[in-house]
Amino acid sequence: MELLKNELAEAQKIQKQSSMKTHNFSAGPAILPQSVIKEAAAAVQNYAGTGLSVLEMSHRSKEIAAVMDEAEMLVKDLLGLKDDYSVLFLTGGASSQFYMVPMNLLNENEKACYIDTGAWSAKAIKEVSNFGNVEVLASSKETTYNYIPKNWEVPSDAKYLHITSNNTIYGTQFHNIPETDALLIADMSSEIFSREIDANKFDIIYAGAQKNLGPAGTTLVIIRNEILGKVQREIPTMLDYQTHINKNSAFNTPPVYPIFVCLLTLRWLKAQGGIKAMEAHNKKKAALLYNEIDSNPLFKGTAALEDRSYMNVPFLTANPDHEAAFLEYCTANGISGVKGHRSVGGFRASIYNAMPVSSIELLVSLMQSFKPE
């Protein structure tokens, strides 16, 4: 134990000397590219030579209208979306999509189907009954959501199927997109833009920005236009997707700065080579980390091998008594946000697009050099 303390003190000293670079493994709000952070700070001081902070500029100004337009255009471009989609930047988080989806799509006598793959799926399911019928086709709740259920069927009378395509807390991911005749809706909050997916197979994709796209404060919602306008109920103006489609997300004052930082991230993503390049980068990072988890006897993974996420990597110390010491060792070496969610315990490395390979290498090297008492 004394040795460990010495080792920690030494590590802390080195960390201090290296100007305290922090490696951000937080699940969200999460890491952003360093170049984005730099541009985002500069725009707060003075936006594009206007003499104004981007924080105090009218959303009706030509500069901010251009930000909104370019962000929308880049989403369409990066995902290869066909013309019949609208791209919205809304507020209220993915949590607000949990009720906006059934409110906009489901009549009272119609049925929506859900796959329950985690806490966020469960929260989405809870909101449906206000608007129509809900059927949970499969759930992995009994095993703390450590796998993606397979071999379920969507009934022919389903209006839509809803999946949470990546499960932040449990580190599982749908590696095959379900085929269905029903509308297909996905919460992609923790994986949007991280891998090649045929986005045109979906009718709604939504994602809170603060995991893989930008800071907290806006939610990306992608909608196939023709699915709207088919429910009987009166929808409050602000909750009707059509309101925001008609006004390019500026029916009321949009969250300008969060959207602006999303735009900076989208530009960065495109400059990196787009989603194809990002997928290769993410698979490389995930492989490095999973290889260490699987080969190092001090650690073990929690999710079913075939369903492992490329974005969120939960793992445990083989001996639970070593948990606190490894967390301290990580912290002393500039690793932040790696503590696991309370429902899984242990550790969770969230390795979103903006996470460089060097941060994964540091974490792996710490797993290798970790010497529990």
- Among all chains, which residue has been given the structure tokens 């995930």? 286
Is 44 a residue that touches its own copies (CB under 8 A)?
yes
x/- track of binding to its own copies for residues 50-89 (CB under 8 A):
xxxx-xxxxx------------------------------
Compare residues 21 and 276 and give the one whose CB is closer to its own copies.
21
Binding residue count for its own copies, defined by CB under 8 A: 65
Determine, following the binding rule CB under 8 A, whether residue 216 of this chain makes contact with its own copies.
yes
CA-wise closest residue to 248 among 8, 68, 12: 68
- 70 membership: H or E segment, kind and range: helix 62-79
CB of 53 to its own copies, least distance (A): 5
Annotated catalytic, 211?
yes
CB 24 within 8 A of CB 30: yes
Binding mask 309-338 for its own copies (x = CB under 8 A): -------------------------x-xx-
Question: Can residue 93 be called a binding residue for its own copies (CB under 8 A)?
Answer: yes
Q: What phi and psi values does residue 181 have, to the nearest 5 degrees?
A: -80, -20
Q: Which stretch binds its own copies (CB under 8 A): 29-37, 65-73, 134-142, 289-297?
A: 29-37
In whole angstroms, how far apart are CA 228 and each of 100, 133, 356? Answer: 12, 19, 40
Q: Is the dihedral of CA 182, 185, 191, 193 positive or negative?
A: positive
- Asked if 298 and 372 touch (Cβ cutoff 8 Å), the reply is yes
The catalytic residue among 116, 187, 203, 240 is 187
Under rule CB under 8 A, residue 358 binds its own copies? no
Instruction: Please give the DSSP secondary-structure letter assigned to residue 183.
Output: E
Catalytic site residue from 203, 211, 240, 285: 211
Q: Is 187 a catalytic residue?
A: yes
Copy the structure tokens of residue 242.
Answer: 């059509």
SS3 assignment, position 268 = helix
| Residues in 239-298 at the binding interface with its own copies, rule: CB under 8 A | 239, 251-258, 261
d(CA 187, CA 174): 11
Q: How far apart are CA 110 and CA 100, in angstroms?
A: 15
Which residues make up the interface to its own copies (CB under 8 A)?
Answer: 20-22, 24, 26-32, 37-38, 40-42, 44-45, 49-53, 55-59, 91-96, 98-99, 103, 123, 126-127, 130, 208, 210, 214-218, 234, 236-239, 251-258, 261, 334, 336-337
Q: Which residues are catalytic?
A: 120, 187, 211
